[in-house]
Amino acid sequence: MSEHPDRLWRNPEPRSGYDVVIVGGGGHGLATAYYLAANHGIRNVAVLEKGWLAGGNMARNTTIIRSNYLWDESAAIYEHALKLWEGLSAELDYDILFSQRGVLNLAHTLQDVREGTRRVNANRLNGVDAEWLDPDEVQKFCPVVNTSPDVRYPVLGATLQPRAGIAKHDHVAWAFARKADELGVDLIQGCEVTGFLKQGNKVVGVETNLGPIRAGRVGMAAAGHSSVLASLADVRLPVQSHPLQALVSELLEPVHPCVVMSNHVHVYVSQAHKGELVMGAGIDPYNSYAQRGSVHVIEQQMAAALELFPIFARAHVLRTWGGIVDVTPDASPIIGPTPVDELFVNCGWGTGGFKATPASGWTYAHTLATGKAHPLNEPFALERFTTGALIDEHGAAAVAH
Interface positions with other proteins (CB under 8 A) = 225, 227-228, 236-241, 285-290, 294-296, 329, 385-388
Q: Cβ of residue 384: shortest distance to other proteins, in angstroms?
A: 9
DSSP state of 3: P
Please choose, from the candidates 241, 306, 293, the residue with its C-alpha nearest in 3D space to the C-alpha of residue 267: 306
From residue 321, how far is each of 148, 270, 277, 288, 357 by CA, in Å?
A: 32, 16, 14, 14, 21
Given the complex with other proteins, which of 159 and 240 has the nearer CB atom? Answer: 240
As a whole number of angstroms, the distance between CA 281 and CA 259 comes to 13
Given the complex with other proteins, which of 20 and 247 has the nearer CB atom? Answer: 247
Count Cα neighbours of 16 within 13 Å in the Cβ-side half-sphere.
0
> Which runs of consecutive H residues, i.e. helices, occur in 309-383?
357-370
Given the complex with other proteins, which of 71 and 85 has the nearer CB atom? Answer: 71
Q: Cβ of residue 291: shortest distance to other proteins, in angstroms?
A: 9
| Number of neighbouring beta carbons within 10 Å of residue 219 | 27
Given the complex with other proteins, which of 231 and 370 has the nearer CB atom? Answer: 231
In sequence order, the 6+-apart residues with CB closer than 8 A to the CB of 106 are: 112, 138, 145, 155, 157, 158, 260, 261, 262, 263, 264, 265, 308
Please choose, from the candidates 300, 245, 299, 252, the residue with its C-alpha nearest in 3D space to the C-alpha of residue 274: 252
CA 341 to chain centre: 27
Q: Cβ of residue 303: shortest distance to other proteins, in angstroms?
A: 13
Given the complex with other proteins, which of 182 and 378 has the nearer CB atom? Answer: 378
Q: Cβ of residue 102: shortest distance to other proteins, in angstroms?
A: 35
Given the complex with other proteins, which of 158 and 325 has the nearer CB atom? Answer: 325
Q: Cβ of residue 222: shortest distance to other proteins, in angstroms?
A: 12
Given the complex with other proteins, which of 2 and 387 has the nearer CB atom? Answer: 387
Please choose, from the candidates 171, 88, 164, the residue with its C-alpha nearest in 3D space to the C-alpha of residue 123: 164
Please choose, from the candidates 157, 217, 245, 272, the residue with its C-alpha nearest in 3D space to the C-alpha of residue 17: 217
* Beta carbons of 184 and 47 less than 8 angstroms apart: no
| Number of neighbouring beta carbons within 10 Å of residue 124 | 12
Q: Cβ of residue 280: shortest distance to other proteins, in angstroms?
A: 18
Q: Cβ of residue 262: shortest distance to other proteins, in angstroms?
A: 21
Given the complex with other proteins, which of 122 and 221 has the nearer CB atom? Answer: 221
As a whole number of angstroms, the distance between CA 378 and CA 22 comes to 20
Q: Cβ of residue 241: shortest distance to other proteins, in angstroms?
A: 6
